[in-house]
């Protein structure tokens, strides 16, 4: 039997247990203890997170519905500029009175621990290839400088010699 450890993500549900139909709403502002996410963008340790929870007693346990809002920081996947993105995620999960193969989460010592659910929801909501804006032109492949507008190839620009033969086909108005 594991010892109960209280965190900002744990919520007491003693008054809801075995009372189907009763419910409670809780709002919490939490300081994220450790980084959530890997890669180009993540929710940094020390970031603010707002949780709005609705806890509903049902026959099998306590149904938790959550709205989570926070801010992720990182860099654009095209131009590598720093960026900030607001995240809004929702989830719903049943915490069962007793764990069996039908349920993934269980009530421990009259508390539910929402941290794994919040972490999963936030990390899955992070963009895989974040961009600072949809029309970000990225970096110039030759100079590495940030492009202000999408790059248009100049007709006099050097062409890879492997493609030089295609110039002879030229485009016509016909």
- State the pairing for strand pair 10-12/61-75: unpaired
Can you tell me which residue has the tokens 């929402």? Answer: 114
pLDDT in tens, 99-157: 776 677 888 888 899 999 999 999 999 999 999 988 888 888 888 888 876 545 555 55
pLDDT in tens, 21-43: 889 999 999 999 999 998 899 99
pLDDT in tens, 73-104: 999 999 989 999 999 999 999 988 877 766 77
Domain regions of the chain by residue span: 10-125
Buried residues in 37-62 as b, exposed as e (16+ CB within 10 A): beebbbbbeebebebebebbbbeebb
Distance CA 106, CA 90 (A): 20
pTM score above 0.85: no
- State the pairing for strand pair 82-96/48-57: unpaired
Element (H, E) at 121: helix 115-125
- State the pairing for strand pair 82-96/105-106: parallel
Q: Are residues 90 and 68 in contact, defined by beta-carbon separation less than 8 angstroms?
A: yes
Distance CA 64, CA 114 (A): 9
Rg, C-alpha atoms of the chain: 25
């Amino acid at each position: 039997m594991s010892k109960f450890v209280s965190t900002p993500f744990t919520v007491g549900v003693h008054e809801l247990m075995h009372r189907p139909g009763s419910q409670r709403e809780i709002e919490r502002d939490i300081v994220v203890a450790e980084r959530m996410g890997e890669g180009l963008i993540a929710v940094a340790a020390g970031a603010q997170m707002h949780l709005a929870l609705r806890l509903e007693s049902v026959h099998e346990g306590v149904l938790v519905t959550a709205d989570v809002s926070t801010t992720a920081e990182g860099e654009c996947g095209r131009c590598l500029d720093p960026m900030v993105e607001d995240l809004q995620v929702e989830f719903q999960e049943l915490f069962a009175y007793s764990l069996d193969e039908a349920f993934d989460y269980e009530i421990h010592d009259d508390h539910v621990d929402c941290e794994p659910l919040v972490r999963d929801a936030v990390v899955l909501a992070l963009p895989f290839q974040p961009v600072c804006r949809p029309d970000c032109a990225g970096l110039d492949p030759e100079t590495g400088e940030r492009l202000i507008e999408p790059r248009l190839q100049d007709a006099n620009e050097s062409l890879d010699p492997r493609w030089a033969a295609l110039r002879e086909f030229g485009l016509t108005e016909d």
